[in-house]
Structures are given as C-alpha cells and as structure tokens.
Structure 1
C-alpha cells in the first residue's frame, strides 16, 4: 500500500500545475516574429501583452493535456475551460485517469460559474458504478490568495513560473492552426519548485516550447520532464492549447437543475467547498 501511495505521488508531480496552468491566445498580428532572432524574450512583457489581448477578445477556450508514467503506472489529466469574460460565465471540466499496479480509477470534476457563483460536480467511477456529488461555489468566499479559474487561465502565472528566469531561444516562425507564431524553446532551464510543486524531487531532464503570436500572446505552451524521487523515475508531459478566441460561449450545463435540487435539500450535497482541480 505504501508503494501505491508513493507511486501515486510520483504520477501526480507532472499534474500539479494542470489545475492552474494557463495559456492565452492572441489575435495574430500578421506574419512577423514576436521578437528578433537575437533579442531576449522578456516574459514579463509577454505576459502583459497576452493578458491585455485576451481581455480585449472577451472570451476563450483552453485545453490542457498532461500525462506521467512511473514504470507501468500511469496518470493522465485533461482539462477544458471555456470562459466568457463579457458575460462573466465560466465552465470547466477535468478528467483524471490513473492506472496503479493494475488498478484503474478515474474522476471527473465540472465547474459552472455565473457572475461569481455556481456549482461544482464530481463524478467518481464509471457507468452504472458512477456517483455524482455537488457543491455550491461562491468566489467571494475563496481563501485569500485564491483566484477565479478564468483569471488563472488568463494571466498564465503558473505556466510562466515553471520557466522563471529561463533564457528562451527564438527558433523562427511557423504556422499554428492557421496563425503565424514564433517558436521559443529552452532545455534544462526551469524553476524546480514550481515544476514539482515543492516536493522533494530531482529534475534530471527538462525541455519546453512556447508559441507566441506577433502581437505578443501565447497560443501554446508545453514541456517534457524527467523527475527522480525515492529511486524511481517519472516521465511527464504537459501541453496547453488555446482556441475559439472571441467566439467562446458558455451555456448552462445539463446537470444544473440536478445540482440545484441536490444542494437545496442537501440530499447527496457536499455543501459549499473549494473549486475543483
């Protein structure tokens, strides 16, 4: 049982940032590079540029995919967030699947917010064995230092934290989903605490790629890492892609009435709680 817990911890290292990682698209800005080939990438300026551009767009969709493996044990997570800043609505869905020592498990969490309040839904198991639980969510009641999901994905804070102080190398321009972007790469240059979530681990290999539009916003961020802990090795990858800029709409989920009923009569409800990962 101890080995299972250790393995689960290792598998989750690569997923620590998935709940808060963010990537923000731009409008394009033509076919020019974001910076000259020999010009250092100022990530503070880049963060300001793409945050302002995304606010101007008014809405966006972000898809995050992460995976890790320790021997035959695997863990994966996909998170999709749709944010309509103008309507002040957010929908987020995350699915985490694990296979540890031949035993598979999974959990799906969903979050719907309308003007700062809404509901979270958690589904454990699958098929006839699945069970849904609900919580009410009020952003005004979040602990100090916490932020709304749309803000976390908007500012890219935790994504940039992974490579804080790194020297990115400009690799020229290319096409990404019909938009000209500048590719930046780094190897072996990272913030270990941000990457591992502060766990006692040694990062033996790391590389990352950043795709930036000419107007200074991020369309994709991804990394691959090898982490050593307690004599075991975890291989991890994480990719963020942004789409539907300015055209994302957020509709009420089909489980909203069930959530209202469950939290209203407290039957199967968990009350008000923290945001899902």
Structure 2
C-alpha cells in the first residue's frame, strides 16, 4: 500500500467525482468596485420567488451549503455518493465512483469505503484520536496500514459541492413527500430549455450538446440535504456521447453510530499496535 495516499484519495473522492469534472468547488461570485470609487449601490429588481419550502427560487448554492453545514456540523450522519459515466449508446461503464461513510462530528470518529475506477477498493476506520486504520484489497491480497493525524478529515463529507449543478438550471419547487419517516421538500429541473451554459458548472461536456438533463434536490424541513441526483447526456472532449449520473444521499442525521469494522483487530496486529 502506498502510505499517505489512501486517506487523501478518499477525501478527494468525497468532493470530486469520476468523470465530467466531478463535484468541483464553487469559485464564488466576483464583486466590482464602482468606477467612481464611491460606495453607491444599484437597486436591482428582486427576481426571487418564494416557495413553501426551505429555499426560495432560484436556488442559491451558497445558502444551501451554509444551512446544511450548520445542521450537520456537530452531529452524526451517514453519507453515500455514487457517480458513473457510461457510453450513451451501449451503456458500457467508462468510469465510476462509489463512496460511503459513517461520520461522528462530535468525536471525529468515522469510517468509509470507496471503490473508484482503476484503484483498489479501500476501507478505513478513524478513531476519536485521529488514528486511521486502512484496508486495501487488490490482486487477491489484503494490505493494512496505520496513519496518525487524520482528525478533522470529516470536513470532506460534510458538504458535497453541488453548487455547480444548481447554477444555470431552472429548478422548480415540486412540493413535499415522505421519505424515511420524515417530510422532505423536492426541487427539480428537467430539460435544457432553462439551461444557462455560462452559469452552469458542468465543464467537461460541451454545453451545446447536453440532452436529457434532469436534476432533483430533496431537503429536510431544516434545509439540510437528504438526496441529490443529477443525470445528463452530452459529448465529451473526445467527441463521444456519454451519460453522466451522480447521486448523493445523507441519512441517519443525528442518529448514526459509527461502528468499528470487523477487521480492526487484524489491522492493529498487522501494523504492530
């Protein structure tokens, strides 16, 4: 196992999905100083549309991120992220990312499993002291490693940067539904009629080639994310038609217990603890 590599790979996978540029960060909104150097402001018309849900339209990714982080910051949750790039015609898988995690923000304890294209499946458990025990499976063998100083790494699971998929799309509020015993609010975008290519953040596909685009965001009453799904077909830089689907899910918010993996004792023995 390549030491100091596995944790970093997992954290990158948490915020950057396979293919199509991933869940990259948001560069923010630039501001300009008035040419005359004054503090004068311009009264722009208010285009916000109120809804019965936690968020008004158009959706603001920064607001969603901040409210979601506030709810989850000092609690526990389970996180799941799946992404796949397929050939649009045959459906053959080109790239994929599968990641799941249990996180306790109060103690810093967490565990995860990831399976990414062209890398070995990897699992890890990080205790409250920041010691990470890693398990990598490949070529019919299992390797273990132990690393220290992994505390604080749960930030990568706290919020997936979906802002790029919220910008430049015309989301509508579609009401509420019941899921896993709670009420969730649904926001959805379908088709490319409302697509603003200059604002939308999917840069790895030709914006003029996008078809069959759909996105759904489900949030709890407090505004925290429960699920997000984005599905689009387009042309990549190599000229191939591909379908890109990404799904994110949060569950067990406030009730998740991080369990020690069954292989922990073996990992401690192998790494000499």
TM range (shorter): 0.5 to 0.7
Q: Distance in 1 between matches of 2:126 and 2:64?
A: 28
The structure whose RCO (Cα within 8 Å, separation 6+) is larger is: 1
1:65 to 74, 82, 95: 82
Compared CA separation, residues 43 and 106, structure 1 to 2 (3 A): closer
Matched, 1:221 2:228: yes
Q: Distance in 2 between matches of 1:72 and 1:35?
A: 35
Compared CA separation, residues 162 and 111, structure 1 to 2 (3 A): farther
| Structure with the higher fraction of residues in helix conformation | 1
Q: CA contact under 8 A between 2:54 and 2:221: conserved in structure 1?
A: yes
Compared CA separation, residues 85 and 13, structure 1 to 2 (3 A): same
Local SS of the residue matching 1:138: coil
1:212 to 213, 219, 228: 219
Local SS of the residue matching 2:121: strand
Compared CA separation, residues 116 and 133, structure 1 to 2 (3 A): closer
2:142 to 131, 134, 151: 131
- RMSD after superposition: 3.2
Q: CA contact under 8 A between 1:184 and 1:210: conserved in structure 2?
A: yes
TM-score for both structures, normalised by structure 1: 0.66
Structure with the greater alpha carbon radius of gyration: 2
| Structure with the higher fraction of residues in strand conformation | 1
Local SS of the residue matching 1:257: helix
Structure 1 gaps, min length 5 = 1-10, 21-31, 99-104, 141-146, 266-277
Cα offset, 1:72, TM superposition: 5.4
Compared CA separation, residues 220 and 191, structure 1 to 2 (3 A): farther
Q: Distance in 2 between matches of 1:232 and 1:155?
A: 31
